[in-house]
Amino acid sequence: MQAMQIRKLTPRFGAEIIGVDLSKPISDQLFREIEAVFNDNGVVLFRGQHLTEDQHIDFSKRFGPLEIHVRKDALMKHRPEVFVVSNVYEDGKPIGSVDAGQFWHTDLSYKKIPSRGSLLLAREVPMRDGKALGDTLFCSTIAAFEGLPRDLQQKLESLSATHHYEKGYNRDRPSGKRKPLTPEQMAALPDVVHPIVRKHPFTGKPCLFVNEGYVTEIVGMPRDESEALLDRLFKHCLKDEFIYRHNWRVGDLLMWDNCSTQHNAAGNYEPTMRRRMDRTTLTGTAVA
Ligand code: SIN
């Protein structure tokens, strides 16, 4: 029987689970404990997990069905459940998405049913002078909501925002312009509208569900007012007290909740330094 210990990553959110080897059988009881830590903390870290691709997929599936990302070019061959985030090239082609996620976003917020969470496994981490680079930053959207003045919280509770995949896909990025989305990809990803204050599907806590990467406007608000309010909210989320910065080690399995957190890959490494991460993405439930 594996027994787990928990270490908080920040005072407000995030936890490391120590003493669990995810390549070994996980009993239903242990899984329920892990899931509870995940729901309560938003970000969960397991160090030293040298998992095969199938072990990564199998552990992820304990949380429910997995998403197959619309970017087929970044999916692992023969295992489409794995979205590869990597600047590694093989036979002249990138093996995954070269600079994915280098902006504040939540994965798949642009879908009618946004993702529940993501599990990123570090396989190669860029290093300089013994220090790991390529950090990922997280913001607690629960803490960010709690940190707003009460009158603004109340105003936001009646508002919704439009999310669109193309905004994040087409933004300027170090590797240059991406190929335009195909008509099929565009058709699969129409604009979606979600409440700005979203009730967490498992804990019921209010989460500030707007992210700079995919949110284009507040529904029914004049454009300049919408831009000013969104800008205020995006900046608010970046306060130190809401942030956890993860410094990766090979074998880290880091999972995050796509309702109670946002994230941003810092990209603080050079293109010649190899970085390879494998991501599985959990299907979510309808937004309440
Ligand atoms: C992502 O946004 O899923 C990628 C995060 C990272 O590569 O650090």
pLDDT band at 267 (very low <50, low <70, confident <90, very high): very high
Measure the N-to-C terminal CA separation of the chain; round to a whole number of Å.
Answer: 37
The percent of residues in the chain predicted with pLDDT above 90, rounded, is 87
pLDDT in tens, 223-254: 999 999 999 999 999 999 999 999 999 999 99
Q: What is the DSSP string of 73-133?
A: GGEETTEEEEEEEE--EETTEESSBTTTT-SSB-TTTTSSS--SEEEEEEEE--EETTEE-
* Residue carrying the six token digits 């930053």: 137
> Which of 98, 115, 136, 244 to mutate to test ligand 1, by most ligand atoms within 8 A of the CB atom?
136
Task: Give, as one character, the DSSP assignment of residue 193.
Answer: E
Residue 139 β-bridge partners: 243, 262
Alpha-carbon 163 to chain mean position: 15
Give the pLDDT of residue 60.
98
Buried b (16+ CB within 10 A) or exposed e, 30-46: beebbeebbbbbbbbbb
Residue 283 has pLDDT above 90, yes or no: yes
Question: Which atom of ligand 1 is least distant from the CA of 246?
Answer: 8
Closest CA to 255 of 143, 263, 272: 263
Pairwise CA distance, residues 4 & 117, whole Å: 21
Neighbours of 262 (CB within 10 A): 31
Known catalytic residue at 105? yes
Question: Which atom of ligand 1 is least distant from the CA of 105?
Answer: 2
Atom 3, ligand 1: residue with shortest CA distance? 101
Pairwise CA distance, residues 14 & 27, whole Å: 23
- 84 near 95, Cβ under 8 Å? yes
Which residues, in sequence order, are CB contacts of 88 under 8 Å at separation 6+? Answer: 94, 95, 96, 124, 274, 275, 276
Give the pLDDT of residue 1.
74
> Which of 99, 277, 282 to mutate to test ligand 1, by most ligand atoms within 8 A of the CB atom?
277
Atom 2, ligand 1: residue with shortest CA distance? 101
pLDDT in tens, 173-214: 677 777 888 888 888 889 999 999 999 999 999 999 999 999
Question: How many residues are recorded in the chain?
Answer: 288
pTM: 0.95
Question: Which atom of ligand 1 is least distant from the CA of 266?
Answer: 8
What mean pLDDT do residues 17-42 have? Answer: 97
